[in-house]
Amino acid sequence: MSKDVTPILDGWDYDSDDLQVRIVDGIDGKDKIQMRIDLGLFQMEMAGRPDGIRPFGFESLLDYHKAKAGRQKEGSYSLDAEACASLMREGMQYYHRYLASFHLQRFDMVARDTTRNLELFAFVREHAARDRDRRHFDKYRPYVTVMRSRALGLEALAKDDHRTALEAIDEGIEGIRAFLRDHNEAENEGECLELAFLLRWRKEVDRERPVGPVERIEQQLERAIALEDYEEAGRLRDQIRRLNGGAVADRGSSHAG
């Protein structure tokens, strides 16, 4: 039986302008993800390490190193350059899979794999012997944080759950700001493209969020107070009180009633 992959690629021509991915039945009975590349394809497992290998009997090389670090005195475990290079290669496998999963709108898998790579970056920051390795991994933190927030947010929006989507976006915003603080770049957050994207997206999601009658009047109340239109503010507070059954949260100036 020939091992030539030409029949597999027949009819699936490579397009450099489009990410081409699909899910196929594996000969082991499990689904596989395939990604078309110019010289053939990548094939990845749907779960576990994408290449299906179990390093030293663990699900991933990261899990192996975590187990080793857990058996040693706190703060004593160290990753040399070779170990970091192996972990980076493994991290790239998860990157290819969550990229393919995003294209397939399997946002649950994207969230799983981006969470895993963020854990990888944190582990390397804590244990890498060389500062250059810590920087090499950590520079990807903002991008992976955005991808995780997008996956969680889009998954929530598919269920019309705007509240959960906003929570996911807010978590991503704080994660990127934490990255900037860690690298003494907090004053330059306006130059961070990943942060700018999440801030824009948050405004869009919040604008499209269904608003109930009480919340709509509360927004009008805030505007009235800002404009010092206390007569209108008092009228709006009375409306909110009636809708809430006589209770209304205290907000703004006492001039509002």
20, 21, 26, 29 alpha-carbon torsion, rounded to 10°: -150
Which segments of the chain does DSSP mark as H helices, in order? 6-9, 61-70, 81-103, 107-127, 131-138, 141-157, 162-182, 193-208, 213-226, 230-243
Instruction: Tell me if the domain spanning 46-208 has CATH number 1.25.40.
Output: yes
Domain boundaries, the chain: 46-208, 213-256
Could you tell me how far CA 115 lies from the centroid of its own chain? Answer: 7
Could you tell me how far CA 15 lies from the centroid of its own chain? Answer: 27
Q: For residue 209, give both structure tokens.
A: 């969020």
pLDDT of residue 247: 54
- Distance CA(34)–CA(22), nearest Å, equals 5
Mean pLDDT per 10-residue interval, the chain, length 257 residues: 88 93 95 95 97 97 97 91 98 98 97 98 97 97 98 96 95 97 94 97 90 71 83 82 65 43
Bridge partners, 41 (sequence order) = 36
Q: Which of 166, 76, 153, 91 is nearest to 122 (CA)?
A: 91
- Distance CA(185)–CA(202), nearest Å, equals 22
Please name the residue that has the structure tokens 């597999």. Answer: 8
Q: Say whether 154 sits in a helix, a strand or coil.
A: helix
- Distance CA(216)–CA(255), nearest Å, equals 21
pLDDT of residue 246: 58
* Phi, psi values for residue 25, rounded to 5°: -80, 130
Q: What is the pTM of this model?
A: 0.82
Dihedral-angle region of residue 32 (phi above 0 means left; psi in -120 to 50 means alpha; beta otherwise)? beta
